[in-house]
Amino acid sequence: MIITKKKPFETINESIKPFKRVFIVGCGTCSTVCQTGGEAQAKELAERIGGKCAGYAVVESPCDMRVLRRDLAPKRAEVDSADAIVALCCGAGAQSTADFTGKTIIPGLDTLFIGKIERIGSFYERCRACTDCIILETGGICPYSRCAKGLLNGPCGGQVQGKCEVGGYQRDCAWVLAYNALKKQERLDVFKKYRPPADRSRKPQEIVTR
């Protein structure tokens, strides 16, 4: 799931000042689960904005152009009447909405990470979209997202009793977790294996199947 957090209302309110009318697009998937851009949050924001708000729609998944087209169709008049859109969704959803509507997009949320949800309020980063998943070798623990340094060959000197120096020894050291998991699986040979430098060139990704 894409984990997001709300921008302060004051920030959004400041951003919408230059515009006459704004329309709000929420997200029925990730932002609904995070309680940052679901029905309740879109409605609440619409009420706080007041007269300037042309309306709102919670699009099932605003990162999908096909779904945007489907879910915004009934609100076409309201969308057309607005000169800017407040997007209560992740960066991907916000940019897809911009592409679809051709209007100025005001991000209403900050996108944090791809993560695991335990309950509302407990979100854990679990993936950096590194393009080359190695968790089979690391006991199911992703070092790119869970090691503060993204190291590939075991913990650094900053772990103390399995806790990470970053953030004051609160979070678990990903590499100690990986070691313990592999030990339990009797696969420590995998831990000891040397992992050579990864391709970290990370160019913008586009997949277009023709």
Partner 1 sequence: MREAFSRLISEIRSGKFVYTGEIAPGKTTRVETLIESAKALGRHVVACNVTDNPRARANMSSLAASIAVQERAGVEAICQMTARDRNRIALTSDLLGASALGVRNVLVMSGDHPSLGDNPSAMPVYDLDSAQMVELVRRMVDDGTDLAGNRIDGKVRIHVGVTGNPNADPLEVEIAKLERKAQLGAEFIQTQAVFDIEVAERFLEAVDGFGIPVLIGILPCRSSRIAEQIAKNVPGIRVPEEYLGMLRGAEDLNDQASVEERVDLMNEEYFSGMVSELRRTARLAGVHIMGVAYGRIVGRIADGVERKMSCRVR
- Could you say which DSSP state residue 172 is in? B
C-beta separation of 9 from 106 below 8 A:
no
Q: Is residue 134 a contact point for partner 1 (CB under 8 A)?
A: no
- Residue from 161, 170, 205, 209 touching partner 1 (CB under 8 A): that is 161
Decide whether 55 or 154 has the Cβ nearer to partner 1: 154
- Least Å distance, CB 84 to partner 1, is 30
Q: Between the CA of residue 61 and those of 16, 114, 199, what are the distances in Å?
A: 24, 16, 31
- Angle made by CA atoms 98, 103, 107, in degrees to the nearest 5: 60
Nearest partner of 150 among 125, 169, 168, 170, judged by Cα: 125
Q: Given the complex with partner 1, which of 50 and 168 has the nearer CB atom?
A: 168
Q: Which is nearer to partner 1, 8 or 197 (CB)?
A: 197
- Copy the structure tokens of residue 113: 């990470």
User: Residue 94 is which amino acid?
Assistant: A
Among 21, 81, 137, 150, binds partner 1 (CB under 8 A): 150
Query: By CB under 8 A, is residue 112 in contact with partner 1?
Result: no
Output the smallest distance, CB 132 to partner 1, in A: 15
- Residues in touch with partner 1 (CB under 8 A): 148-162, 165-167, 169, 175-176, 179, 188, 191-192, 194-197, 200
